[in-house]
Amino acid sequence: MPTITPALWFDDDLEEAAAFYTSVFPNSFVEGFTRYTDAGPGTPGQVVAGTFVLEGKRFVGINGGPQFPFTEAVSFEVRCADQDEVDYYWNRLVDGGVESQCGWLKDRFGLSWQIVPERLFELLGDSDPARAAAATRAMLGMRRIVVAELEDAVRDV
């Protein structure tokens, strides 16, 4: 079976991004970087490509310049066991980035993440349509997902 590996195009900060992501996610590490040599075409020693592993998932990155910035069309979902995990990943990944809504954020490199608790999916899939709708309305009003607020929204339905 083939392996599917996300490949990320950075402007010129792949090395910084890989160090950041591997500091956020446990069980993660930088595999290595390829650097330009005296043969060019870039500045000798400058990183051109590299790989890093986050929680067992391999990522490839290149420093390709500003031609293709990240957009929300591609994001990475981090499913969290509880509110503590949501808060941990949200606070670290949004540092230097931008909050969005419904658990989405852009990190300091412009990459989009969805930080969501498992409980959200349980509530959205509730067999009672009124409870599922209440959870959906609550989620739509949030930036960072707060489990207690979701639970409050469905409690009286």
pLDDT, one tens digit per residue, over 26-76 is: 999 999 999 999 998 989 999 999 999 999 999 999 999 999 999 999 999
Name every residue whose Cβ is closer than 8 Å to that of residue 100 and which is 6 or more positions away in sequence.
Answer: 72, 106, 112, 143
Percent of the chain whose pLDDT exceeds 70: 100
Whole-prediction pTM:
0.94
| All domains of the chain in start order, with CATH | 1-68 (3.30.720.100), 70-157 (3.10.180.10)
pLDDT, one tens digit per residue, over 77-131 is: 999 999 999 999 999 999 999 999 999 999 999 999 999 999 999 999 999 999 9
pLDDT tops 90 at residue 156: no
Q: What is the pLDDT of residue 42?
A: 87
Alpha-carbon distances, residue 34 vs 7, 19, 51, 72, 128 (angstroms)? 15, 15, 9, 28, 53
pLDDT tops 90 at residue 1: no
> Do the Cβ atoms of 47 and 79 come closer than 8 Å?
no
Q: What is the pLDDT of residue 140?
A: 97
